[in-house]
Amino acid sequence: MAYYDDILEFEPDLNGDGLRIGIVMSRFNIDIGEGLLGACTEKLKEYNVQDPDILLITVPGALEIPATLLKLAYSNQFDALIALGAVIRGDTYHFEVVANESARGITQVQLETEIPVINGILTTDTEDQALERMSQKGADVARAVVEMGNLLIKLEEYSVD
């Protein structure tokens, strides 16, 4: 739905046909990671992203995700990237470190490489909260990655630097 008749506007494009998507998933809290991944890939297929155009890499934990995303971004093989995982609060300060630093690293990759990176790392107080949110979050991430992948392609074609 266009907001203005007199200005150029890029509307959301959810056709993922031809988009190349890289996914980096933490194996820590693997049940939640796999729930996120299942919902995400199911929705990607609904948006016409083809299986051969998706690469999945797993890493030990959330702090290892940004470096892997950076390597994928610099490969110039992907239109957009996804980070998946779960950081669940424990009894120590470690939760804040992992949650904050993984988010900071993901944002840094996106800004440094100009490749969209969608943060699908759940940060919750309990495992039950993560289990409750994983399906919706996985689907939301898929929508965002297709929309942003298409948007940045359009911006390149439009020559917006």
Q: Quick check: is 25 catalytic?
A: no
Strand partners, 47: none
**107: Cβ contacts below 8 Å, ≥ 6 apart:** 117, 119
Alpha-carbon span 132 to 56, nearest angstrom:
23
Given 27, 71, 94, 104, the catalytic residue: 94
Question: Which residue blocks in 19-126 are alpha helix, DSSP H?
Answer: 30-46, 65-74, 94-113
Residues known to be catalytic:
94
